[in-house]
Amino acid sequence: MSIHLCVSFPGHERVLGGRRHSFLEKTSASLNQWRISCGSFPSSITNFRRPYTSVMVVPTGVGASIGGFAGDALPVARTIASVVDCLISHPNVLNAAMLYWPLPNVLYVEGHALDRFAQGSWALQPVHRNKQVGLVLDAGIEEELRIRHLQVADATRASLGLPVVEYIVTDTPLQVEKWVDPRSGQSTGRIQHPDSLLRAVHTLVNHSQVNAIAVLGRFPDDDVEEMEDYRQGKGIDLLAGVEAVISHLIVKEFQIPCAHAPALSPLPLTLSLCPRSAAEEIGYTFLPCVLAGLSNAPQYVAKDSGTSNQGCILASDVDSVVIPIDACGGEGILAFARGLRHKPLIIAVEENQTVLDDTPDKLGIKAVKASNYWEAVGIIAAHKAGVDPNSLRRNGINNIRSFSASHCNGYIASNSV
């Protein structure tokens, strides 16, 4: 709001004489003070609140209704990012094969690193840009498929200006295996030669000084019938679980940002395809979103490394965490929910269901339940504004409680607050 007030006093020069300028100076000072109190000065001058930080998690390979397919949780992340000052999320939410979306206030954090961050062991150090991103290619990738992916890397360098500086091929095929865990129902897997992968990463880190790693593993081609449910927007992502195993291995060992993209033969065309799975069908590569995310992913700083945490984001800076209703059993979520010093607002989204059964009620986690992500965004907006989200609901606020069991406003008060 900007209001211009003109003050005129006919004949004031004759009345005030030599005190004219003193009067105008006092009037100007009063108006300036009034503008400050009315908020007409830029918000950067009068805003004394720290940035509001939110974490959005959709676990990998658990068949999430939203976020269990080809980047279908990215619209949610974009919306939350427009409300908060800083959003922390992970590749499963932000990756969409050949599609991605630049979000300047979103931190792209690998899942293992996100757990260590939540536990308070690691801090996140935002960067303007990672200086050098390295690419590891599985020796099991056929020559033509390898060349096409190297052309994709060159395309991101030339068209997007991404700092992908060098690649290396593993000395042994990784031999990726994947399956569905019969106990949990989520996808998982392993690589037969993890030592080969670690040697390749070690070479790029120590000899090429890269500070982020993209991995391209040759995944076994699925039978088209096995993929049919996923292509129809049902079931679970059979690739996602072992992708997490690969990135966890590297992040745990080298403590640098990492993400994985599978190398696969293109699937035959289908006339019936769910939009949520379509991002993986528009090309033969999943690499562009990974390289874009890693280009400015935050660096990981161990709290006991002796390095200053100045300028870093800590777990205690997190104000809210958004999670599917039945996926609250991960290490990071439990760390946030059970923190001794700082507990962010946990928002459990009922519409986003998975194959898991780790609900807040079952785990004893205090959480606000949101029917859907529309509602979750509203809860975050209220929380950021310093408003109790319950006050936005009819009968959401009860009478204030007292430490003593006495009558208050006609009701028996509780003994605890």
Q: Are 99 and 289 in contact (CB under 8 A)?
A: yes
Strand partners, 136: 168, 215
Both tokens assigned to 120 = 């308070």
Both tokens assigned to 183 = 């106990």
Contacts 24+ apart (CB under 8 A), 148-157: 148/284, 148/285, 149/216, 149/263, 149/285, 149/287, 152/285, 152/287, 152/288, 153/287, 153/291, 155/288, 156/287, 156/288, 156/291, 156/292
User: Among 102, 98, 92, which residue's Cα sits nearest to residue 72?
Assistant: 92
What is the phi/psi pair of residue 54, to 5°? Answer: -125, 150
Q: Are 346 and 367 in contact (CB under 8 A)?
A: yes
Both tokens assigned to 179 = 């399956």
User: Among 359, 350, 303, which residue's Cα sits nearest to residue 327?
Assistant: 359
User: pLDDT tens digits, the chain, 417 residues: what are they?
Assistant: 444 444 444 444 444 444 444 444 444 444 445 344 444 444 444 567 889 999 999 999 999 999 999 999 999 999 999 999 999 999 999 999 999 999 999 999 999 999 999 999 999 999 999 999 999 999 999 999 999 999 999 999 999 999 999 999 999 999 999 999 999 999 999 999 999 999 999 999 999 999 999 999 999 886 666 677 788 888 888 899 999 999 999 999 999 999 999 999 887 888 888 998 888 888 779 999 999 999 999 999 998 766 777 889 999 999 999 999 999 999 999 999 998 778 999 999 999 999 999 999 999 999 999 999 999 999 999 999 999 999 999 988 899 988 875 555 555 444 443
Question: Strands (DSSP E) along 25-182, which ranges?
Answer: 53-56, 86-89, 106-108, 122-125, 133-137, 164-169, 176-180
Distance (Å, whole) CA 369 – CA 145: 45
Distance (Å, whole) CA 332 – CA 111: 9
Contacts of 384 (CB under 8 A, 6+ apart): 52, 83, 84, 319
* Number of Cβ within a 10 Å radius of residue 34: 12
CA 53 → CA 161, 339, 385, distances in Å? 28, 16, 13
Domain boundaries, the chain: 12-46, 60-302, 317-388, 389-417
In which residue are the tokens 């939350």 written?
80
Would the CA dihedral through 208, 210, 213, 216 be positive or negative?
negative
Cβ burial of 85 (10 Å; 0-12, 13-18, 19+) is: middle
Edge-to-edge strand order for the sheet containing 86-89?
106-108, 86-89, 53-56, 318-324, 345-349, 368-370
Q: Are 78 and 365 in contact (CB under 8 A)?
A: no
Angle between helices 143-159 and 287-295 (to 10 degrees): 40
Question: Strands (DSSP E) along 196-344, which ranges?
Answer: 212-218, 258-263, 299-302, 318-324
* Number of Cβ within a 10 Å radius of residue 63: 23
Say if pTM beats, i.e. exceeds, 0.75. Answer: yes
Q: Are 247 and 59 in contact (CB under 8 A)?
A: no
